[in-house]
Amino acid sequence: MRWILVALIGGISLAACTSDPGFTGVSGVREITAQESAQCKYISDISMNPGVYGQLATQGLKYARNKVMAEARVAGANAIVFDQATPGADVYQLHAVAYHCGP
């Protein structure tokens, strides 16, 4: 009986996480280049720390990028330009500029 309770609590916890845009991704916001943003309306600068490093750095960066995109969507943006990072270097702060492109 105890293992059923543990499984139930684990399932509920997992279900709660799957609605988090950091894990599920964000629709309605696309990544563009700085050149493509020239015809777009500036919305906001958004920054976030990935929060995990080392062996989890890749997952932490993906999560942070998704959270930044979700914040951009809430602000009214439909496009985002992330600062370029040096390949292979650790990222301690993620910065992006959110835009609204098109009608």
Tell me, what's the pLDDT at 7? 46
Tell me the two tokens of residue 16.
Answer: 């709660």
pLDDT in tens, 40-76: 999 999 999 888 878 888 888 889 999 999 999 999 9
Mean pLDDT of 82-92: 83
Tell me how crowded residue 78 is: count the other CB atoms within 10 A of its CB. Answer: 17
pLDDT in tens, 2-24: 555 444 455 445 545 567 666 77
Rounded Cα distance, 83 and 17, in Å: 27
Q: How confident is the model at residue 34 (pLDDT cuts 50, 70, 90)?
A: very high
